[in-house]
Structure 1
Amino acid sequence: MHADVEQSSWRNQIFQEDALQGFARIPDGSIDLLIADPPYGLGKDYGNDSDKMAMAEYLAWTEKWIDAALPKLKPHGSLYIFLTWRYSPEIFVMLKQRMIMLNEIIWDRRVPSMGGGTRRYSSVHDTVGFFSLGKDHYFNLDAIRIPYDAETKKARSRSIFVGAKWLELGYNPKDVWSVSRLHREHRERADHPTQKPLEIVERMIKASCPPGGVVLDPFMGSGTTAVAAQRCGRSFVGFELNPTYCALIQQRLAQHEAPDNARSVLSLE
């Protein structure tokens, strides 16, 4: 009974506070999946100075929050982290000293071929690291398989392919994800400078968080992780400094009907 009461104090809540302080609310070993979309160190305006650190300060801060967050994961837990190519090498090394690296995923944002610099190639992708605490990490491939079209299935009609699970259910998503960024007119778009598409985050949750599990997002931003978890029937917990974004998260969660086990609560503490 005590455990249930303790869990209800943080599960399915977004706390308006710094994650480095807020992690203390969450018991160690209680999180199935950690999805982190931290400031990239590029000077974006999030209503505060959180993205305006110099390189050494930014990397030191990153190491600090990683060391505070990882104990919250269960032994089979995993981490996805969104990064820019500018800092992904250093941060991947940090994480490889603490976890098992499973993939470097390239998110192709489908940026139109126009504009860009004249002294280097245009950057049109984000880098995503996928890590686990152990080799027995949870991963449900069947939940995220991509179906083959009818033409492909017909071409694979020879007897050696009959009954093949991969042909019937679809193929494993590759490590390059071509998903359009949320342009200004996109129906998902909220007032946030670096909002991630639900399609990407839902794939992460379906693959790497068991049904009924809990997803932690230390930098909630527009709340995509919370909305995706709610839509997938998982629980969530997260932190966000900006009160305007906290209100936005509450609004987005209210637009989606939550299952009984994932009622959303916003805690402005």
Structure 2
Amino acid sequence: MSDWLNQVFCEDALAGLARIPDGSIDLILTDPPYNLGKDYGNASDQQSVDDYLLWTEQWIDAALPKLKPNGSLYIFLTWRFSPEIFVMLKKRMTMMNEIIWDRRVPSMGGSVRSYSSVHDTIGFFVGRKDYYFDLDAVRIPYDAETKKARTRSIFIGAKWLEVGYNPKDLWSVSRLHREHPERADHPTQKPLEIIERMVKASCPPDGVVLDLFMGSGTTAIAAKRTGRNYVGFELNPDYCAIIAERLAMPEVPAPPPKKKPVPRAKRSLVNS
């Protein structure tokens, strides 16, 4: 039975994971509370350090058996706790990347006693060497100017020149501002652009993505848009309502197209 498929359950993930058969998930993609004291309608982000790390280890150990042997995991973290949690995961999986998400925070304000924090840390882990990874699905196209510069014979017919380059481990994607068309009423919503990249790279078409902390439901939206299945949990009933509303929309909004930079006018060296 797969009555759990394409469902977001409004319940605690530690209890709800019993619904999901072991070895049935292709990708765990999740954004747990960072324990920074935010108000998510409960105390999940307001634990002591010891309690937070113990709770993290509990849900990791409950979730990993749900992965297929060639499955993967992405986890959003803050630099404050990523070292300890990465060590936990390294004892259980193989770490492939530490991805830095540059949130493009404006250069103003911030702490006056330390450097301003403008990034989130993402860990990419796999279960074994033959893990699923579709690089071609997430390549970034070269612009026309770059392709033109690579016209020497050694580059002609090169696949990478046509399909684009491998995304690096520094992702510069703006956080969602309040006026952003993608924005829902959630304090830590992640951009669809980032989540879709992970889903397309690490979950096969018709595969299943698990998110233990759905928040505003962006993981489910990304799965739906890219032809994957999803399952997840969210403790806050208000966020569950937001997820249901977003999933019920006839067309899930895509990220706005990136504006092409306007080329600067060349300055003449001759006075007119």
TM-score (norm 2): 0.92
User: How is 1:55-66 mapped onto 2 (pairs within 5 angstroms)?
Assistant: 55-66=49-60
Residue pair 1:101, 1:129 contacting (<8 A) in 2 also: yes
Structure 1 counterpart of 2:68, from 56, 74, 84: 74
Report SS of the residue matched to 1:107. strand
Verify: 1:223 aligned to 2:193, yes or no.
no
Aligned to 1:189: 183
Structure 2 partner of 1:136:
130
Q: Could you report, residue by residue, the CA deviation over 1:144-179 in whole angstroms, capped at 9, with x for unpaired residues?
A: 000000000000000000011110100000000000
Output the CA distance in 2 between the equivalents of 1:89 and 1:113.
Answer: 27
- Give 1:180's aligned amino acid: S
Structure 1 residues 22-69: Cα deviation after superposition (integer angstroms, max 9, x where no partner): 000000000000001000000111111111001000000000000000
Aligned to 2:45: 51
1:60-116 Cα shifts (integer Å, max 9, x gaps)? 000000000000000110000000000000000000000000000000000000001
Runs of 5+ unmatched residues, structure 2 = 253-272
1:32 alignment partner in structure 2: 26
Aligned match for 2:204, one of 194, 207, 210:
210
CA RMSD of aligned residues (A): 0.8
**1:119 Cα deviation from its structure 2 partner:** 1.2
Superposed CA offset, 1:195-228 (max 9, x none): 0000000000000000000000000000000000
Partner SS state of residue 73, structure 2: strand
TM-score using structure 1 length: 0.93
The structure 2 residue matched to 1:169, chosen from 129, 150, 163, is 163
Mean Cα deviation higher: 247-256 or 88-97: 247-256
Aligned residues: 252
CA distance in 1, matches of 2:180, 2:140: 23
Residue in structure 1 matching 2:139, options 141, 145, 169: 145
Q: Percent identity, please.
A: 77
- The SS at the match of 1:81 is strand
Report if the CA contact (8 A) 1:227-1:256 is conserved. no
CA distance in 1 between partners of 2:30 and 2:220 (Å): 12
Per the TM alignment, residue 257 of structure 1 is displaced from its structure 2 partner at its CA by: 4.4
1:105/1:129 contact within 8 Å kept: yes
Quote the offset at 1:10 in angstroms: 0.2
Confirm whether residue 250 of structure 1 aligns to residue 244 of structure 2.
Answer: yes
Letter in 1 for 2:122: V
Work out the CA distance in 1 between the residues paired with 2:247 and 2:10: 16
Separation in 2, partners of 1:85, 1:255? 35
State the alpha-carbon separation in 2 of the partners of residues 145 and 256 from structure 1: 28
**Whole-angstrom distance in 2 between the partners of 1:159 and 1:16:** 58
Q: Distance in 2 between matches of 1:255 and 1:42?
A: 32
8 Å contact from structure 1 (residues 83, 127) kept in 2:
yes
Whether 2:6 is the aligned partner of 1:12: answer: yes
